[in-house]
Amino acid sequence: VKGGEQMQSADRIEFLVHTYADRITRIGYTWFGNVHDAQDVCQTVLLRLMTHDCPDDSPEAERAWVLRVTINVCKDIKRSAWFRRTVGLDEGAALTVELPEPGDDTVLRAVQSLPLKYRKVIYLHYYEGYAVGEISKLLGLPPNLVSTHLTRAKRKLRKQLGGEPNEQTISG
């Protein structure tokens, strides 16, 4: 995982899974909106993490690196010919899949209904705690565009969730 550490293969796999699998799966779910594709993303990212070392030894840099790898895997899957040719099952015929977070999922459903460009910044900002500048670097977007996406996403969420403009439904 970290450049200077020499972990045994089984220990390294266990460390990666326990430390990052949930976060990777949630990012995949944010991108694709279903558990199965999110699990595919997680598996692909974990395989990449096992074969490559983080270029920096700090935990913050490692976390950012894992997120960057995850985002790149999501982009690769979205661009792939296989993904472009697949068709989702009709809702009536599909199996019911539980969302990753149990309980009241009103906010999660509202976030999932946003366009991908807004879902990505909302997830990284509110769920992962990244600032606009950090999101800019992770996604390769100008900081002003990230701020615009956050503002527009919050506006859409506020409208969907019935919040007033001055109400702190989504803090920012």
pLDDT tens column, 114-167: 898 998 898 888 888 889 998 888 888 899 999 999 999 999 988 888 876 554
Q: What is the pLDDT of residue 104?
A: 62
Query: Of 13, 41, 171, whose CA–CA distance to 100 is shortest?
Result: 41
pLDDT tens column, 47-67: 888 888 777 778 888 888 899
Contacts 24+ apart (CB under 8 A), 44-47: 44/73, 44/77, 45/20, 45/69, 45/70, 45/73, 46/13, 46/16, 46/17, 46/20, 46/21
Q: Which whole number is the average pLDDT over 67-93? A: 70
Q: What is the pLDDT of residue 98?
A: 46
Work out the mean pLDDT of the chain and round it to a whole number.
Answer: 78
Secondary structure of residue 44 in the 3-state scheme: helix
Q: What is the pLDDT of residue 34?
A: 84
152, amino acid identity? R
Q: Are 59 and 164 in contact (CB under 8 A)?
A: no
